[in-house]
Amino acid sequence: METVNKEYLGVPASPGICIGKAYLVGSREFQVKKTKLTEAQVEKEMARLQAAIDATRKEIQTIKQRVGQEVGFSEAEIFNAYLHILQDPLLIQAAMDQIRASRINAEYILQEIAKQLIGQFKDSPDEYLQERATDINDVVARLLRNLTGQPMDLLSEVEDDVIVVAKDLTPSQTATMRRERVIGFTTDIGGKTSHAAIMARSLELPAVVGLKNLTEVVQNGSTLIVDGTAGIVLINPNGQMLAKYRHAQQRMEQWSRKLKKLKGVTAVTKDGYRLTVAANIELPEDVRQARKYGAEGIGLFRTEFLFLNRRDLPGEDEQFEVYQMVARQSLPYTTIIRTLDLGGDKFLSRLGTTTEMNPFLGLRGIRLCLAHQDLFKVQLRAVLRASHFGKIKIMFPMVSCVEEMRQAKALLREAQKELGRRRVLYDRNMEVGLMIELPSAAMTADILARESNFFSIGTNDLIQYTLAADRINEKVAYLYNPLHPAILRLIRQVVQAGHNERIWVGMCGEMAADPQLTPLLVGLGLDEFSTGPAFVPQIKKGIREVNFAECRELAEKVMACTTSADIEALLKSLMKNEVLHDSIIPKT
């Protein structure tokens, strides 16, 4: 019996609502037989494998060129990773060696080696690395197709408007699909950094990922509602739900047109209080989205992508090219580059660190960088060099005490001296700040402010560490509450400490993207909001529709509350902002 009006929750990957028919894309398993070769057949088998590699390389280069022309050259850079895989000795050379040693056919050997490599990535505790297993899987699937002649699922043949439903979507699948026919994506696996999510955001198509088993319950042609903003998928909705979401679609389109008018406006309250609304980005190509939505610069550039999904470490020149490109594209605004923020468990093969019992409380962020100073200084030199080509500020993550901040700044000075000896130009007045994301940093913000040019409050970790509640653990998720009085007191304390030392204070965590909290955060004295690019217009709108004086009064009332429930009730009763009370997403 077909599922009716069933709701599934996943990860909101690309905002918007679409309603349409499901187009199920299967994960085709190649049927590969194990064949024993004679000694005379080995060289012919090697030549057959090389021919498949050459054909696959041409396919990928063609796809890369198409994506560059139709979507953007930044998005096309995804396929460089594919080309690197075709040269990876752990895959290609290992396959050739085993063919010679075992005299087994190429497709069988290739599939077995790929299974091992993919398993290693999927077993990683890091979500990003788990998703990169898709790259290997896609490349190997193309190699196997070229070896065996077996077909693959092609989205280029779609004839009707559809919502693609897949266990996962590879970059080559999304690159070759008929874009005028695909109106949305859903995938069983993946997160916000998966290729499907990145492509959906680039194409501005609603998408929900991480749905676990949706492909097992959806049938081709089923009616779907995909709410990429809330992370909801409805299968065969009833008439009432269809009516609600169609109305929501219309509202969202009206809202989107209204917000687009805010692209060039400043974030200033009715009584003249000026704030900055910047964007958080994870990849260089996200700069285009930030500019499109009117972000006033980059408030957080996460640099981890440079260090993941590879077996070597990025050099100074490679990092410099990326940083200066982002800084140039962000002009005339500023780019804040956060130094490497990864845990030791993600660098086992490259830095020789050991697996930790609790990596969230272990060697991560600035701790890891201070423990591996050569790695850190490479990044510092790259950032400094890039500062000559744009307005760059540097920010250190996971700082817990003033000693760490001083050590980081000392290494920055060493990097400056090294560039000076090389006669390399850099911005000698580049501002240096830190993320406030640990309770110890918030409690000593007055001390840290004397060592900093700015603060940026990372509320995701600040909430998690303050309340000892893992936000991805469903058993304690109810405790993860941004309106807990302790969190709001820490935010106010950090803002006051920064302003007392005449430095500005921003916020780059999820709280900054919540329009219902905008008046409160304005009232607490924030100078900058940094959010995902798509949220920039509504945060600007929220700021422009309030009076700073009234927001200050609201903040005082909120700070007098003793429970989260009291605070939430107060916000609901006092807020008259359209953003707060006129939700465009229907409750289901």
Q: Which amino acid is at 443?
A: M
Choosing from 18, 195, 372, 484, which is the catalytic residue?
Answer: 195
Q: Is 508 a catalytic residue?
A: yes
Neighbouring C-beta atoms of residue 556, cutoff 10 Å = 11
Closest CA to 181 of 198, 203, 201, 196: 203
Please, is 370 exposed, middle or buried when counting C-beta atoms within 10 Å of its C-beta (0-12, 13-18, 19+)? middle
In SS3 terms, 186-237 reads as EECCCCCCCHHHHHHHHHCCCEEECCCCHHHHCCCCCEEEEECCCCEEEECC
Contact 328, 390 (CB under 8 A): yes
Measured CA to CA, the distance from residue 109 to residue 229 in angstroms comes to 43
Residues 6+ away with beta carbon under 8 Å from 326: 281, 284, 287, 298, 301, 335, 337, 390
If you write DSSP's letter for every residue of 393-410 in order, what string do you get? EEEE-S--SHHHHHHHHH
Distance CA 165, CA 21 (A): 10
Does the annotation count 372 as an active-site position? Answer: no
Q: What is the DSSP letter of 277?
A: E
216: CB partners within 8 A, 6+ apart: none
User: Could you say which of 18, 369, 484, 508 is catalytic?
Assistant: 508
- Kindly state the helix (H) or strand (E) to which residue 440 belongs, with its residue range: helix 439-443
Which residues touch 477 (CB under 8 Å, ≥6 apart)? 469, 470, 471
Q: Cα–Cα distance between 127 and 534 in angstroms, integer? A: 23
Q: What values do phi and psi take at 283, rounded to 5?
A: -135, 150
φ and ψ at residue 475, rounded to 5 degrees: -75, -25
Q: Which residues are catalytic?
A: 195, 508
